[in-house]
A = this chain, B = another copy of it.
């Protein structure tokens, strides 16, 4: 029960203390938050950083010559450096701030997609994508005449490389857009191998890092990713801020997305010229306070360190798989070799909604539904599932509480 405590430098009690919300009660019960995969809770450091901006150092960025504006711009731009370092990007100019992973992917579809893909070109996604990595490509397909192909996954929930190979054989594929970690199956995809695979076949690769970036150190240069996206709110940061990484030469060639202030070099009615990346893609007043909050979140996670986070989550996941698979009639989806703290499951004769509601009554928050992955539900032969996801503040005791809660659910439906 105390496996987590054995991890060096990882003091789970201290960590939980950093998150004010975790001491709340729900329906008079201890609050057990197993929905971090949808959005994570925020540590005091992030809250404080945002409050500090608003109380002591706020003005619009980039355009001001006065002290408050210069200081706010510095704090804002420092997060770009921090984010570049966090992903090991080659340059700060490769980091574009967006609202969330969804906007990051759409930005690529609207700019790179329309400018560099031609009718007849194909895009490949996998069967385990989130809607955010399906719908933008469908929209591009429908407006722009590119083809959208779906590579299969195996029954274990891993990328089926034979199917992938098959999708690439005619040489039409220009982009492989694929998740780094499934938000349903918990599968980590072999991103280095996928990047190499795509590049050898003349395609670029976009990785949806929404889930992965929270749990593992990401190194976009080692992966050789062309595009990498994630959301701040899943990384213990604020809502309203997301990240798009793209290789410099790709960004340089991309036309702008939204037009307005800050993304221009000059404006006349006849013709406007665009600023250099990343500013070309950041029109209007950015999410200043949220960007600074994201910086605090990155600092927080790095101070704990990914080795400790990963070890903790590994222990949680192993424990969860062990205790949940003992519950008769409970079925865990996916059994990838390399999987993390995202566990979706169904129970015989109990609908996922009812599981969620009955657990909620016990203070336990899990998600139920299609998890924005309807096509994957079809592939798995279910319409909805319950899902427990873990964060760095999740404890072994909470997993035991989940297991106990599920046994009570079974009783109600017995």
Q: Known A39-B58, A46-B54, A106-B258; judge A239-B65 contact (CB<8 A).
A: no
Q: Which residues of A from 35 to 67 have beta carbons under 8 Å from B?
A: 35, 38-39, 41-42, 46-47, 50-51, 54-60, 63-67
Q: Which residue of B lies closest to A47 (CB)?
A: B54
A69 interfacial contact with B, CB 8 Å: yes
Whole-angstrom distance between the Cβ of A388 and the nearest chain B Cβ: 11
Q: Which residues of A from 56 to 93 have beta carbons under 8 Å from B?
A: 56-60, 63-69
A350 interfacial contact with B, CB 8 Å: no
How far is A228 from B105 in the complex, measured between Cα atoms in Å? 27
B67 lies within 8 A of A26 (CB): yes
Partner of A267, one of B63, B258, B259, B375: B375
A347 interfacial contact with B, CB 8 Å: no
A367 interfacial contact with B, CB 8 Å: yes
Q: Which residues of A from 8 to 55 have beta carbons under 8 Å from B?
A: 20-21, 24, 26-27, 31, 33, 35, 38-39, 41-42, 46-47, 50-51, 54-55
Which of A243-251, A285-293, A390-398 lies at the interface? A285-293
Looking at A138, A240, A357, the one whose CB has the most chain B CB atoms below 10 A away is A240
Whole-angstrom distance between the Cβ of A276 and the nearest chain B Cβ: 16
How far is A369 from B261 in the complex, measured between Cα atoms in Å? 12
Whole-angstrom distance between the Cβ of A363 and the nearest chain B Cβ: 8
Q: Which residue of B lies closest to A140 (CB)?
A: B259
A290 lies within 8 A of B69 (CB): no
A264 interfacial contact with B, CB 8 Å: yes
Partner of A63, one of B42, B264, B286, B372: B372
A105 lies within 8 A of B286 (CB): no
B35 lies within 8 A of A69 (CB): yes
Could you list 25 A-B pairs, sorted by A, with CB under 8 Å?
A35-B68, A38-B60, A38-B63, A41-B58, A63-B369, A66-B359, A99-B240, A102-B285, A103-B258, A103-B284, A106-B258, A110-B110, A130-B261, A134-B272, A136-B258, A139-B256, A139-B259, A148-B269, A231-B285, A233-B288, A238-B240, A238-B290, A262-B372, A269-B375, A289-B290
A-B interface, 7 closest residue pairs, ranked by CB to CB distance from nearest:
A102-B284, A135-B259, A240-B287, A240-B240, A132-B260, A102-B260, A66-B365
Interface residues of A (CB under 8 A from B): 20-21, 24, 26-27, 31, 33, 35, 38-39, 41-42, 46-47, 50-51, 54-60, 63-69, 99-103, 105-106, 109-110, 130-132, 134-136, 138-139, 148, 150, 231, 233, 238-241, 256-264, 266-269, 271-272, 283-290, 353, 356-357, 359-360, 364-369, 371-372, 374-375, 378
